[in-house]
Amino acid sequence: MKPRALAHGDTLGLIAPSGGVQEPGRVERAAERLGELGFRVKQGPGCGASWGYLAGKDSIRAADLNAFFADPEVDGIVCLKGGYGTPRILDHLDYASIGRNPKVFVGYSDVTGLHLALGKTCGLVTFHGPMPSSDMLPEFDEFSRASWRAALMTTGPLGMLVNPEARRLERIVGGTARGPVAGGNLSLVAATMGTPYEIDARGRILFFEDVDEAPYRVDRMLTQLRLAGKFEQCAGVLLGTWKDCVPREGRPSLSLAQVFEEVIAPAGKPVAFGLQAGHGAPALTFPLGVEAVLDADAGTLEFVESATR
């Protein structure tokens, strides 16, 4: 299920499906930044709501997403920020309506819960990329902005995804893998295991990134996926940014590289590290759910299927 590519002047629905924004005026500044990119913006009521660590109660956050997918005036949906909260609304979404109204949907981090659910339930192609409050304020760097616009506004295959300064991916296990890209934030992929929204790894290139997780926690989550057979089922594995994923001071630890080598590599599938996507800047934007080719030896990732219509 592919959405229509965005065009200048389209209307974007801005939603807050996860955490709330505490700083006064930040939602408005985020909307203005989207306007500077050439879009009209319609804010969901949940953007200004707050319920503890959430941007409003579950009913409000789910209603915003359902309403914007059903709204004929809205051409695409952008998540304001991550935080925590998407798993709480996955069983509150109107997937039948969403399936009838495919639209560009973009975000990352906690939004991974929605990527997984929309992909598995509706077959909707979604986009892993920067969000206004998290990544576009106070400024949106030129590399990230160009990648964001290209991914959401290109009608043909996105082609080769090139890191800043053309840095190649690092090989962990050699070989070439082809398949749809799936995944996102490792914590959310692990959190949905055993639910109807659990990641389908069969024949897919699995992408993972995370933030503020010590290596032993990354180990625990990847081991959960290993025990579930995900690395045996997948075509390959692509590893993104791991911002502040460092050992606690004074504690013995394996390195992330050792964790990847010991937990993922034994499955023998191509594995590459270093895609500049996820937490941190600059960051790439790319589609989830369409075919790509990962060449771990050459250190490249190429999208060979269009993500939009």
Q: Nearest-CA neighbor of 79 among 123, 22, 13? A: 13
Three-state helix/strand/coil letters over the chain: CCCCCCCCCCEEEEECCCCCCCCCCHHHHHHHHHHHCCCEEEECHHHHCCECCECCCHHHHHHHHHHHHHCCCCCEEEECCCCCCHHHHHHHCCHHHHHHCCCEEEECHHHHHHHHHHHHHHCCCEEECCCHHHHCCCCCCHHHHHHHHHHHHCCCCCEECCCHHHCCCEEEECCEEEEEEEEEEHHHHHHCCCCCCCCCCCCCEEEEEEECCCHHHHHHHHHHHHHCCHHHHCCEEEEEEEECCCCCCCCCCCCHHHHHHHHHHHHCCCEEECCCCCCCCCCCCEEECCEEEEECCCCEEEECCCCCC
pLDDT value of position 285: 98
CATH topology (fold) of 159-303? Glucose Oxidase; domain 1 (3.50.30)
Q: Which candidate in 109, 134, 147, 187 is catalytic? A: 109
Residues of the chain with pLDDT > 90, as a percent, come to 97
Looking at the chain, the domain(s) classified CATH 3.50.30.60 span: 159-303
Answer whether the bond into residue 138 is a cis peptide, omega within 30°.
Answer: yes
pLDDT value of position 244: 97
Please, are residues 272 and 294 in contact by the beta-carbon 8 Å criterion?
Answer: yes
What mean pLDDT value characterizes the chain? 97
**Is 209 among the residues known to form the active site?**
yes
Per-residue pLDDT at 250 exceeds 90: no
pLDDT value of position 82: 97
Residues of the chain with pLDDT > 70, as a percent, come to 100
Q: Nearest-CA neighbor of 292 among 274, 276, 306? A: 306
Band the pLDDT of 92: cuts 50, 70, 90. Answer: very high
pLDDT digit string, tens, across residues 124-148: 999 999 999 999 999 999 999 999 9
Looking at the chain, the domain(s) classified CATH 3.40.50.10740 span: 11-140
pLDDT digit string, tens, across residues 263-290: 999 999 999 999 999 999 999 999 999 9
Residue 134 dihedral angles phi and psi, to the nearest 5°: -80, -35
pLDDT value of position 297: 98
pLDDT value of position 155: 94
Per-residue pLDDT at 41 exceeds 90: yes
Q: Which candidate in 187, 213, 279, 291 is catalytic? A: 279
Band the pLDDT of 23: cuts 50, 70, 90. Answer: confident
**Is 109 among the residues known to form the active site?**
yes
pLDDT digit string, tens, across residues 66-91: 999 999 999 999 999 999 999 999 99
**Is 8 among the residues known to form the active site?**
no
Q: Which candidate in 147, 209, 213, 291 is catalytic? A: 209
Out of 18-27, 115-124, 216-225, 290-299, least confident range: 18-27
- 233 to 164, 179, 207: CA distances (angstroms): 31, 12, 14
CATH fit for domain 11-140, picks 1.10.340.30, 3.30.450.20, 3.90.1150.10, 3.40.50.10740 = 3.40.50.10740
